[in-house]
Amino acid sequence: MSNLPTEPTTFHDPYQWLEEVDSARALDWVRAQNQKTDTRLAQSDSFKALQAELLAVLDSDSNIPFVEKIGTHYYNFWIDAAHPRGLWRRTTLEEYRKVQPAWETVLDIDALNTLEGENWVWHGANCLRPGHSQSTYQRCLIELSRGGADASVTREFDLVGKTWVEDGFQLPESKGGMGWIDQDSVYVFTDFGAASMTRSGYPRIVKQWQRGTPLSAATVVYEGQHDDMYIAAMHDSTPGYARDFVSRTLAFYNDELYLRADDGKLRKIDAPDSAEKSVHKDWLLLKLRDDWPVGDGYVAGSLLAIKFEQFMAGGRDFDVLFAPSDSTSLADMDWTRNHLVLNILDDVRNRLSVLTPSNEGWTRSAFIGAPPMATVDVSAVDSDDSDAVWLVTRDYLTPVTLSLAEIGAEPHALKAMPAFFDASRHVVQQHFAVSRDGTRVPYFLVHEQGLQYDGSAPTLLYGYGGFEYSLCPEYSGGLGRAWLAKGGVYAVANIRGGGEYGPRWHQAALKHNRARAYEDFAAVAQDLISRKVTAPRHLGVQGGSNGGLLVGNMLTQYPELLGAVVVQVPLLDMQRYHHLLAGASWMEEYGNPDVPEEWAYIQTFSPYHLFDPAQTYPPVLFTTSTRDDRVHPAHARKLAARMIEANQDVTYYENIEGGHGGAADNAQSAYMKALVYRFLWERLSVGGA
């Protein structure tokens, strides 16, 4: 393990010029690195065959067309080889039940790009619920992004005529957006000019905008502070329960919610800022992230319910719908017309529970037909009109299945992905490593039956460990074809910082405790080595975004455990992260480097500062995107440049498009994935081919 700094140090940054995203000299450096990588990794026949295999998975017509019910139609956004930027299309439920549904194209993004000479990427649609005089959905607000960036433009679209609304609501490119109030008014939160954005680069002001007036005439609804994260407003159009809300996000997992009256006055929903608040018809639900000493007291991770009007009148007599145990956390919840479905993680395995409110209180029942050993997602088909839900199941070896279920009845399978690789030879296991402080850390292990425990297996360990995000078993045809089918072993670590065991698991690795996440990941790596699944020269790690920070710390703090490192769209310079794009919004996670006491611990997990040019590091692949306007590409650029200067084994590739996802279409994604798997197999396998 590397020696960590014990007190704040000064640092001269010789590569700060690489923060100039589109400057000529920065892009010249990027193109030079890209060319080297392309020449070394991407020109062989084996690479091109791998890329084609991965693209075939992404473009497969057998992929499930997931749908959203809007009115009487079911809408899907579809990407394939013929439509690389995608089609927004619709069908009926009767058609959707068929193996090959008949689809009606609503909007063709590729055709739009050709017409406008743009590189639009679909960011979604928000459609206006019909009013009393209407029977069908007619208008939508559609968001489009240039090259996949977070920033987008918004345009009003006629769903009946399938055309853009002339002189309709439109917003120029910015982070933020719009939401319907009624057909002639919207809430708008965007870049209104000087000082209208927060320190994090998100909207600070929300306004109400009337049709037929210029944006400059929109009236202010609420102004947040410069140090807030995000300000927005929304209209709940649920029949019989129409309400308006203003949301003031102070920081990640820390917000205020206000009820907006007809006269524009705001009334705070006086629940803890750290609680996740949601209002559905009669009910207010609070998902606690901290203990709340009200009444008899409620523990972090609990889900509380109370009638909304009762709470606003001062009532605090809650029903506890869920309380965590040592092994459980609440992963998700969703309302149908009459029920609330809870999705609970128990040692990172999903189980479902159905709660039903009545005048006599809440009753609890099992969800019929949910598989006992799989990753399961549940979402309502139409929470206003039915108790039907979509049920999506999968695991590392089982392709995704989509079922339609009525609460209380057996699910009916509608669609299933094909198997993109032969998984019959593989098994999935769950193990627990012991971290430095004695904490048991779960991880999943996928490998061929009959694995020889001699330390020779090329093994890829993946992790994230941040922002209360849980890593549950997922099926990946690309991973299966490019890694598992070749004899590779795959492991996923459920380290602290994530949400696998609720808020306590997340909070255990915040700020000055961040090292616990990296100690957990290193413990899993060491467990794989101790079990003789693999050895350091055959062990690779991969992570993106916050996971890129994770593996960046593995690179700089635990190089002796690793044979290769893949660092994707990462944070790496933790002294300047809060000055770059959306970085200031993550200070609740990492801390504020401008405060000396906080920089004292932040520098102990800043890979850019921990790098020692005199030390030898395992081979590393950095990937990022020029169009990533969330995590600045300079993080990857600068550490790669420092390591190249020190003659380390560095491979670098920066996609010019792609946003934070790294790729703007399937072809780009297949290329990027092929680079990763080619690099890893070359570095970790016994033969290196």
The catalytic residues are 545, 660
The answer to whether residues 277 and 288 touch, using CB atoms and an 8 Å cutoff, is: no
Burial of 114 (0-12, 13-18, 19+ CB in 10 A): exposed
- Which amino acid appears at position 397 of this protein? L
Can you tell me which residue has the tokens 């009013």? 131
Mapped onto helix, strand or coil, the DSSP state of residue 586 is helix
Instruction: Mention every residue, 6+ apart, whose C-beta is less than 8 A from residue 13.
Output: 573, 576, 638
Mapped onto helix, strand or coil, the DSSP state of residue 314 is coil
- DSSP element (H, E) containing 31: helix 24-41
- Report the Cα 235 to chain-centroid distance in Å: 25
Q: Pairing between strand 243-251 and 340-346? A: unpaired
Two tokens, residue 175: 């982070």
Can you tell me which residue has the tokens 């308006």? 244
Q: Pairing between strand 459-462 and 489-493? A: parallel
The answer to whether residues 655 and 625 touch, using CB atoms and an 8 Å cutoff, is: yes
The answer to whether residues 176 and 186 touch, using CB atoms and an 8 Å cutoff, is: no
The answer to whether residues 252 and 281 touch, using CB atoms and an 8 Å cutoff, is: no
Burial of 684 (0-12, 13-18, 19+ CB in 10 A): buried
Terminal CA-CA length for the chain? 30
E-only strand ranges, 336-478: 340-346, 350-358, 361-366, 375-380, 388-394, 401-406, 412-416, 426-434, 440-448, 459-462
Mapped onto helix, strand or coil, the DSSP state of residue 486 is helix
Report DSSP state, residue 498: B
- Nearest of 606, 624, 620, 618 to residue 566 by alpha carbon: 620
Task: Give the C-alpha separation, 272 to 277, whole Å.
Answer: 9
Task: Give the C-alpha separation, 150 to 630, whole Å.
Answer: 7
Mapped onto helix, strand or coil, the DSSP state of residue 636 is helix
